[in-house]
Amino acid sequence: MPELIHLSAAELAAKLASGEVTSVEATQAHLDRIAAVDGDVHAFLHVSDTALDTAAAIDARRAAGEELGPLAGVPVAIKDVLATKDMPSTSGSKILEGWLPPYDATVVARLRAADLVPLGKTNMDEFAMGSSTEHSAFGPSHNPWDLTRTPGGSGGGSAAAVSAFEAPLALGSDTGGSIRQPAAVTGSVGVKPTYGGVSRYGAIALASSLDQVGPVSRTVLDAGLLHDVISGHDPLDSTSLTDEWPSMADAARRGGTGEALTGLRVGVVRELSGENGGFQAGVKQRFDETVAALTAAGAEVVEVEAPSFEYAVAAYYLILPAEASSNLARMDSVRFGLRVRPDSGPATVERVMSATRDAGFGAEVKRRIILGTYALSAGYYDAYYGSAQKVRTLIQQDFAQAFDKADVLISPAAPTTAFELGSLVDDPLAMYLNDVTTIPANLAGIPGMSIPMGLAPEDGLPTGLQLLAPAHADARLYEVGAAIETMLTDAWGHDLLSQAPLLKEAVK
């Protein structure tokens, strides 16, 4: 049943609920798809060997008349950054190769409790450091739109899995754009919730004050359905918010009627709109067209300024390495993971740790650990980490002023369409600039979403629109995001992904 894989999660859930389709059938269809295309896409690092059993158990309970949740029986892919006790969890690193955690991340436990079917673990840049998945220790993922290009990163695996119809839903994590940028370059939907909206317990930490787990999907409604499953207070995460969150799926359904755009105040952030160049022409063109369409749909578009954003990337590349250098210190060969003995000399525990970390970490991880160690070391703290934390304050102030004038802010989600594999991997600075549009939201903790914005005329590859809302206003993103999604797909006359060349054709 190949058509099963083309259904949205909401559509599939409806068929599962009505009994028209079983979870075993839906799961098998996606496993077949993975078997057929993942050799080319390499979205998955591990495919579950118990998914069909899980699906069968859910089918049995449904057949017995049990009341199940809205996404019960729907398959889901899980970024390898999340701890799963039945599947290895490596965060894309050799140092954790084969590590089977003795526990589930809170979001994974919530997926299981809501009866979703974990399909497998998706590829990512090592410890989520990167914008292309090329820093995965297990080889890069490929963009289903063009296999010679990257699917973005760090969550390229989750985005590729969803856009290649290997899974209707996936979980990602977003520290500086790792959900939104891959969504943009694969034509999928990705959401970074308000910091603290979703538990980080069991998410292998990159930068604790920036990381946030979120949904990846093909429609805004699907993202909202998954968001509703994973969000909410978790006492195991001390930064978890106690908000009573409204249903994001309901917000998306409301937005889908299109009325949300009338009178909506939409802010275009001058610093993120490509006015000073740096954006690919086709990205800029589709963004300008979207702005025009919003005006035509009755939205009030205003320009807002955020002068401190100029410093965002610099602040980010101090805070992230500093926190990451500390978070990754636990990878020491004592309690789990790789252990490597030094080639020569005495194998003291210090030397075993050093040899293990040299052998187990890739170049980008070492680069950022050294940078972070530098930023925190005595004598540099105030100038670097301390200053970067002040930049955060300034960025929050810029957002606060912008949200005085606008209900949501918009920008392109990524400055370019998917780039060629290997084109930036040796130029870390250029790679870092790929996140220029997404980083400010992480620094300020506000929610952000990327939705398809059309194909760039020059290369026929997807572009993404980023929407930002104030902290706690995630539902507004879903309502507005769904409204814009409806507006654009109505204008195109089809879903963006339906324009994707089928995978086999894309190779040629």
Partner 1 sequence: MAKDKLLDFDKAIELYEPVLGFEVHVELNTKTKMFCGCANAFGQGANTNTCPTCLGLPGGLPQVNEKAIESSIRLGLALGCEIAENCRFARKQYFYPDLAKNFQTSQYDEPIAFDGELTLELASGREITVQIERAHMEEDAGKLTHVGGATGRIQGAEYSLVDFNRGGVPLVEIVTKIIEGAEADAPEVGRAYVGAIRDIVRALGVSNARMEEGNIRCDANVSLRPRGSTVLGTRTETKNVNSLRSVERAVRYEIQRQAAILEAGGTITQETRHWHEDTGTTSAGRPKSDADDYRYFPEPDLVPVAPSREWVEELRATLPEPPMARRKRLREAWGFTALEFQDVVNGELLDAVEATVAAGASPADARKWWTGELTRIANARGVAADTLVTPQQVAELSGLIASGELTDRLARQVLEGVIAGEGSPAEVVEKRGLKVVSDDGALIAAIDEALAAQPDVLAKIQDGKVQAAGAVIGAVMKAMKGQADAARVRELILERAGQ
Partner 2 sequence: MSEISTDLVRHLASLARIDLSEGELQSLTGELAQIVDSIAKVSEVATPDVPATSHPIPLRNVFRPDEVRPSLTVEQALSGAPEREGDRFKVSAILDEEQ
Interaction partner, residue 308 (partner 1, partner 2, none; CB < 5-8 Å by kind):
partner 2
What is the Cα–Cα distance from 442 to 420, expressed in whole angstroms? Answer: 26
What is the Cα–Cα distance from 150 to 185, expressed in whole angstroms? Answer: 8
Give the x/- contact pattern for partner 2 in 225-254, rule: CB under 8 A.
----------x--xx-x-------------
> What tokens were used for 49?
């060997």
| Residue 444 is a binding residue for partner 2 (CB under 8 A) | yes
Active-site residue flag, 199: no
Among 48, 54, 89, 486, binds partner 1 (CB under 8 A): 89
Q: What is the DSSP secondary structure assignment for residue 178, as one 8-state letter?
A: T
What is the Cα–Cα distance from 193 to 175, expressed in whole angstroms? Answer: 11
Length of the chain as a residue count: 508
Cis amide bond preceding 141, omega within 30: no
Among 39, 65, 102, 345, binds partner 1 (CB under 8 A): 102
Q: Considering only 178-186, 325-333, 420-428, 498-506, which stretch makes contact with partner 1 by CB under 8 A?
A: 325-333
End-to-end CA distance of the chain: 26
Q: Which residues face 269 on adjacent strands?
A: 304
Q: Which residues face 267 on adjacent strands?
A: 302, 409
Among 28, 247, 373, 489, binds partner 2 (CB under 8 A): 373
Interaction partner, residue 391 (partner 1, partner 2, none; CB < 5-8 Å by kind):
partner 2
Nearer to partner 1, 377 or 393 (CB): 377
Active-site residue flag, 79: yes
Contact by Cβ (8 Å): 89, 127: no
DSSP string, 25-67: HHHHHHHHHHHHHHHHH--EEEE-SSHHHHHHHHHHHHHTT--
- Closest separation in Å from C-beta 437 to partner 1: 24
Q: Considering only 40-48, 275-283, 346-354, 478-486, which stretch makes contact with partner 2 by CB under 8 A?
A: 346-354
Interaction partner, residue 241 (partner 2, partner 1, none; CB < 5-8 Å by kind):
partner 2
Active-site residue flag, 504: no
| Residue 348 is a binding residue for partner 2 (CB under 8 A) | yes
What is the Cα–Cα distance from 449 to 463, expressed in whole angstroms? Answer: 13
Beta strands in 41-194 (DSSP E): 44-47, 75-79, 117-122, 169-173, 189-192
What is the Cα–Cα distance from 204 to 319, expressed in whole angstroms? Answer: 17
- Closest separation in Å from C-beta 351 to partner 2: 7
Among 351, 423, 460, 492, binds partner 2 (CB under 8 A): 351
Site for partner 2 in 77-116 (CB under 8 A): 99-103
| Residue 168 is a binding residue for partner 2 (CB under 8 A) | no
Among 43, 47, 171, 207, binds partner 1 (CB under 8 A): 207
> What tokens were used for 373?
């160690």
Q: 341: Cβ–Cβ under 8 A, 6 or more apart, which residues?
A: 347, 352, 355
Q: 219: Cβ–Cβ under 8 A, 6 or more apart, which residues?
A: 8, 9, 10, 189, 485
Contact by Cβ (8 Å): 79, 121: yes
Nearer to partner 2, 95 or 185 (CB): 95
Q: Give the H or E element holding residue 448.
A: strand 448-455
What is the Cα–Cα distance from 150 to 276, expressed in whole angstroms? Answer: 26
Among 332, 407, 474, 479, binds partner 2 (CB under 8 A): 332
| Residue 473 is a binding residue for partner 2 (CB under 8 A) | no
- How many angstroms separate the most distant Cα atoms in the chain? 73
Catalytic residue, candidates 79, 121, 192, 284: 79
Pairing of strands 265-269, 117-122: unpaired
Nearer to partner 2, 390 or 504 (CB): 390
Site for partner 2 in 380-409 (CB under 8 A): 383-384, 386-394, 396
3-state helix, strand, coil split of the chain in percent (to 5) is: 45, 15, 40
Pairing of strands 408-412, 265-269: parallel
| Residue 317 is a binding residue for partner 2 (CB under 8 A) | yes
How many chain residues are in contact with partner 2, going by CB under 8 A?
A: 74
| Residue 385 is a binding residue for partner 1 (CB under 8 A) | yes
How many CB atoms are closer than 10 A to CB 24? 20
Catalytic residue, candidates 8, 173, 178, 450: 178
- Closest separation in Å from C-beta 314 to partner 2: 4
Among 28, 247, 285, 354, binds partner 2 (CB under 8 A): 354
Q: Which residues face 451 on adjacent strands?
A: 465
R_g of the chain, CA atoms, integer Å: 21
| Residue 205 is a binding residue for partner 1 (CB under 8 A) | yes
Q: Considering only 37-45, 147-155, 284-292, 345-353, which stretch makes contact with partner 1 by CB under 8 A?
A: 345-353
Q: Considering only 98-106, 280-288, 391-399, 472-480, which stretch makes contact with partner 1 by CB under 8 A?
A: 98-106
Give the x/- contact pattern for partner 1 in 238-277, rule: CB under 8 A.
xx--------------------------------------
What is the Cα–Cα distance from 284 to 229, expressed in whole angstroms? Answer: 35
Among 311, 403, 419, 478, binds partner 2 (CB under 8 A): 311
| Residue 336 is a binding residue for partner 1 (CB under 8 A) | yes
What is the Cα–Cα distance from 376 to 51, expressed in whole angstroms? Answer: 44
Q: Which residues are catalytic?
A: 79, 154, 178
Judged by the rule CB under 8 A, the positions of this chain that interact with partner 1 are: 82-83, 89, 91, 96, 99, 101-103, 105, 200-205, 207-209, 235-239, 322-323, 326, 329-332, 334-336, 349-350, 353, 373, 376-378, 381, 385
